[in-house]
Structure formats: structure tokens, C-alpha cells
Amino acid sequence: LQGKKYLLVYLSASWCPPCRFFTPKLAAFYETFHNSHNFEIVFVSQDRDERSMQAYFHNQKYSKLAVRGGEGSHGDWLAVPYEQAKRLGVTLMQTYAIQGIPMLLLFDLETGELVTRNARDLVARNLDTAEGFPWAGNTDGEGLR
């Protein structure tokens, strides 16, 4: 993460159809914009077992989700080890009042502050342009207390 300004934390799981639908879009967004917009993505699995997490991350049984620029459905980004991801997922869900997945949180790495917890919708709306990234101050549908 050294030298990166932003971190997108992606909570997702292989058993989740909306996750499997969004993941290749996020991978394409990453491939197109991660260098020019100075961000990295970290995958935090919400899978029920490590084997499912690894298969999903490395695209072993989800080959239909393969996207340009990466061999796996998740593209060329980082993943939290499974056991740590389980604990981190619980912490993130409690801290940011997350009700479900997929969830994409955007943090400013210089300040450690959450920029938006609505990054999934913002990526989907700006898939080809990354318009407005990092979407600072966007609270559309965030529901933070």
C-alpha cells in the first residue's frame, strides 16, 4: 500500500450472487483506474470456508467472471488471509453498520478516515470514467449514525 492515497476495502463472498455480479465490474474499474487515481483494493472474504474464498479469489470455479487484465475474477489486488478476514469482516460490519454484501468502503490512507461507504454504487455509476473519484463527501444512501 506504500505510495497509495486511497484504499478500497471490498467485503464479498462466493455464495453471494450480487457479489459475483459486481466483482468483475470492480476488477475492470481497478484495471483501468488504480494507477491514475492512486488506489488499491483489498478483498475481505465473507466466505464460509477458506477453500471457497481461495476458489472465488483465484477464479477457479467462477471462470465466467474472468475480466481483462487479471487471471482471477478479482483482478490483481490484495486479499486479507481467510482467518483474519473473518474477524476483520465482523469488525467492519459493526463499526460501519453494514447490513449486507457486497460492500465497498473507501478510505483515505493519509488520514485513515472513511471517505465513503457507498463506493460500490459510485463505482457502478462511474465504471467507465471514475468521475468525481474519490467521491469525498458523498453520503448517498450511506446511513451512518
Band the pLDDT of 111: cuts 50, 70, 90.
very high
pLDDT(58) > 60? yes
pTM for the model stands at 0.85
The architecture (CATH level 2) of 6-125 comes to: 3-Layer(aba) Sandwich (3.40)
End-to-end CA separation in angstroms for the chain: 29
pLDDT(117) > 50? yes
Interior/surface letters 129-138, b for 16+ CB within 10 angstroms, e for the rest: ebeebbbeeb
The residue ranges of every structural domain in the chain are 6-125
In terms of Cβ atoms closer than 10 Å to its own Cβ (0-12, 13-18, 19+), residue 93 is middle
| pLDDT tens figures, 9-42 | 999 999 999 998 999 899 889 999 999 999 999 9
- Alpha-carbon span 132 to 136, nearest angstrom: 8
For residue 128, the 8-state DSSP code is T
